[in-house]
Amino acid sequence: MDPRSFGNHPQLKPPMLLTGTANEGGAGPPIGLIDIGVSEQAYLFRVALPGIRKNECGVKCEIQHDGIVHIRGVVTPDGGILKDSSNVFKLRVQQLSPPGPFTISFKLPGPVDPRLFCPNFRGDGILEGMVMKERVRVIHVDG
């Protein structure tokens, strides 16, 4: 599936390309669910990254001029052990994505200015990004 094929129709869901762990996820909440918002001047996107630890995953997000977004990271292994303040739990059922690298690619509805991109990896496992649309320069020609 080519993320470049996303059109301007507001009802179309953007195609996604998932590789590695993001593609292998099983019964739990999947990595890579995407919402895209459009305003007059910018695009806002939110990507679900459940089970990915903000400080340990090395998530990188790059945006190209044509609106293609590439997200890369690593689901870190916890060795099947969960800890809280006073207990240690060994996992018998693991629903989140297995450890390993992942990539997510999708296309925003139009061209953007990659210099005007503001990403935020929220504490709830959502990667949120806002990027300004490419401005079309109007040149007036006196006749």
Cα–Cα distances in angstroms (integers) from residue 125 to residues 47, 54, 60, in the given order:
8, 7, 14
Sign (positive or negative) of CA dihedral 70, 71, 72, 75: negative
Which residues 6+ apart lie within 8 Å of 102 measured at CB?
18, 19, 20, 21, 22, 23, 31, 32, 72, 73, 74, 75
Residue with tokens 């292994």: 77
Which residues 6+ apart lie within 8 Å of 56 measured at CB?
76
Domains, in order of start, for the chain:
28-133 (2.60.40.790)
| 46 vs 54, higher pLDDT | 46
Please give the pLDDT value at position 8.
53
Please give the pLDDT value at position 96.
66
Convert the pLDDT of each residue in 15-51 to its tens digit. 767 777 667 655 456 778 899 999 999 999 999 988 7
Q: For residue 49, how many C-alpha atoms fall within 13 Å in the half-sphere facing its CB?
A: 33
Please give the pLDDT value at position 131.
97
Q: Supply 37's token pair.
A: 């918002």
* Helix, coil or strand: residue 101: strand
CA angle 71, 136, 134 (to 5 degrees): 10
Convert the pLDDT of each residue in 97-136 to its tens digit. 677 888 999 999 999 999 999 999 988 889 999 999 998 7
Give the model's confidence band at 1: pLDDT under 50 very low, under 70 low, under 90 confident, else very high: very low
